[in-house]
Amino acid sequence: MFFLLANIRLLFIALLLASIAAPLTAQDFSDKNLLNEQLDYYQYDQDFLTAEFHKGRRESLRKLLPDSSIAVFFSAPERNRSNDVYYEYHQDPNFYYLSGFREPNALLIISKEDQKFDSIPTNEILFVPDRDPAMEIWNGRRLGLEGAKDNLGFNSVMINSAFKQIDLDLNSIKRIYYLSPLALEDQDTSETKYLAGLWHQLVKKNTKPFSSAENHLEMMMAQLRQDKTVEEIALLKKAIDITCEAQNKLMQNIKPNMAEYETEAIIEYVFKSKGAEYPGFPSIQGSGENSCILHYTSNRRPLRNGGLLVSDVGAEYRGYTADVTRTIPPSGKFSKEERAIYELVYEAQSRAIDSAKVGVSFWFPHMVAQKIIAQGLMDLGIISFKKDFTKYFMHGTSHYLGLDVHDPGLYKELKENQVITVEPGIYIAEGSDCDPKWWNIGVRIEDDILIKKEGPVILSDKSPRSIEDIEKMMNKKEDSLFNK
């Protein structure tokens, strides 16, 4: 980072010296053995999805495409954080699902039948950035053309800069489906080395309207991604196991004199120490009044000010994201009112999980949870009419889980090998129309559920969720955070 903070004069000198030195070119990597040596970074982790998996996903999409059609996908953009600092790159989930490619400025075309792309008959073609050895010194190695061919199992691979000149007769194709790229503002459209240029040239090459193409392709991808393969379930289980271990470490190491950000540090330390690449979403560590904010991520409040802590987190492992919520008392004990609300949410969640069976509506567990919470809030005197439960339970109970924390799906009936969350909650903010003794109590319990013919399987059962088991876990203070 010291270089990025250098003044303009030093930067100018560095660039001048670089221009004097003999620049590296793609020719320096022409030897295949040297290329493979440079690509060893792709093999640091052995449990990524295989090229055969991604090829199978492309074939599954091809079966959904109508005759004489193609589907076009773009990689995710690189996103600027500030000045010359960029966020760590994260591939678009659909693009990764179909290709396994984890770099920017790429384009994927999948066709129902063989098409001639620049006189090359193929039913798929991947456009990737060329290698730039000078930039790789700064930003890490890239696959390039040969690396993509060797590692990704595509029938055809080309350098993205060639897309501008390629003969692509889109007008002979009846239907063109696409998912448009994001964040193209201020990008150069003149060259197809960049994402905006790839999109610009695609539009230029096609004179027909793309009518409703995006919605149709989104539905096809939702149909594919909602049903998980054995390989996907294994990676999800790994992400979920890591997340459960993080929640357990939090229970064992939390202290009432901590701040919310310290609890976040415990969670994310475990994520990284167990090999997760990222949190799947910003970690939610909301205590006291913040427990009633559904997606609170500031995480600055001192726990000593009282209240429960809602810890809603998920490790991302090889692209797949867990989503597990536990609500815990930093003191180690639930108060009488906290216990009452927690038990109500726990009952609603348990019954909703039991109802998540093959063939029922996706929304059926939600209806089960709503009914229990509405009656329970009335029994506690918090509401007078069942319809008023939405004041305190205002979100859905379930969503699909996978490459996205809110994974795409059709939201119809539940099918075997789908993975969903079940996460009812009650949030009674200060000033609510009820006895003040309930104010600032927020409770959410969330587990990740695999739908099987034999019944629902709780994948996140390694972290306790009943009051008794949580308090028991919190008494295990001898388990050090750094004990792997």
CA contacts within 13 A on the Cβ side of 28:
10
Our answer to whether residue 399 is catalytic in this structure is yes
Candidates 338, 399, 400, 404; catalytic one: 399
Q: Which amino acid is at 71?
A: A
The residues, any chain, with a CB within 8 Å of residue 428's CB and separated by 6 or more, are 292, 341, 382, 392, 434, 438, 439, 440, 441, 442
Our answer to whether residue 454 is catalytic in this structure is no
Our answer to whether residue 132 is catalytic in this structure is no
Candidates 40, 44, 81, 84; catalytic one: 84
Question: How many of the other CB atoms lie within 10 Å of CB of 343?
Answer: 15
Contact 189, 196 (CB under 8 A): yes
Our answer to whether residue 339 is catalytic in this structure is no
Our answer to whether residue 446 is catalytic in this structure is yes
Q: How far, in Å, CA of 236 to CA of 231, rounded?
A: 9
Our answer to whether residue 295 is catalytic in this structure is yes
Candidates 103, 260, 423, 447; catalytic one: 423
Take residue 301 and report the two structure tokens written for it. 């409040």
Candidates 52, 59, 406, 433; catalytic one: 406
Candidates 92, 124, 245, 312; catalytic one: 312
Candidates 245, 446, 447, 448; catalytic one: 446
Candidates 301, 366, 444, 465; catalytic one: 444
Candidates 31, 87, 295, 300; catalytic one: 295
Q: Which sign does the torsion angle of CA 442, 343, 351, 311 carry?
A: positive
Our answer to whether residue 323 is catalytic in this structure is yes
Which residues are part of the catalytic machinery? 84, 295, 312, 323, 395, 399, 406, 423, 427, 444, 446
